[in-house]
Amino acid sequence: MEILDMPRQGCFLISEPLLGDPIFEKTIIYLVAYSHEGAVGFIINKVGDHMIGDFIDHLEDTNIFILNGGPVETQNLYFIHRRNDLIESNYQISAEYYWGGDVDTLFDKIQKGEITEQEVVFFRGYSGWAAGQLENEIKNKSWIVVDYSLNDLLLLPPEERWPHMLRKVGGDYLLWINSPSNPVWN
């Protein structure tokens, strides 16, 4: 794991524990787009109340859950995947991962077992920042920016991802793992 000074597409943002916003408290965000115009990412460690089969009739037997990706456009479903050979996507995040693509083809490939839950991640909503906003939040120490393997992170249950990343960063950040949601409880 490498701690970065500045964000870049395909990196992770690890929130400090007492951010003051319950949506982003103790979260990890996978940054899928980053430029001088702003940033877009998905919260990768907060499970929502639904599975993909709750919305797609022919996928009711799948065990693919939907993560709460962020507070923006929560009525929309987004996905990232690593099967560009089966689901053509116009947006490459990293060497392995892609954002979006033909959703009907995706659902068909999932139903046929050609794409597994280890190869696609669904999100309700996304997290977004205007130009300069994320940089200011990083400067104010709201986020640690790290380079890490998405594949390795996805092997863990979502609730274990935030403390896992802090253990990987180590040092003083280990103190954050057991911090209460409310500092008065400390």
Mean pLDDT of the chain: 91
Look-up: residue for tokens 């205007």?
130
Stretches in the chain below the pLDDT threshold 50:
186
User: Which parts of the chain fold into alpha helices (H)?
Assistant: 103-111, 133-139, 150-154, 158-169
User: How many separate domains does the chain show?
Assistant: 1
CB 152 within 8 A of CB 63: no
Q: What is the pLDDT of residue 141?
A: 92
* Model pTM score: 0.91
Look-up: residue for tokens 């990232």?
80
Q: What is the pLDDT of residue 183?
A: 52
Count the neighbouring beta carbons within 10 Å of the beta carbon of residue 14: 24
Domain that holds residue 99: 2-185
Q: What is the pLDDT of residue 182?
A: 54
Q: What is the pLDDT of residue 181?
A: 60
Q: What is the pLDDT of residue 146?
A: 97
Q: Could you tell me the CATH number of the domain that includes residue 124?
A: 3.40.1740.10
Q: What is the pLDDT of residue 4?
A: 94
d(CA 131, CA 139): 14
Torsion angle of C-alpha atoms 19, 23, 28, 31, degrees rounded to 10:
-110
- DSSP-assigned letters across all residues of 36-51: TTEEEEEESS-EEEEE
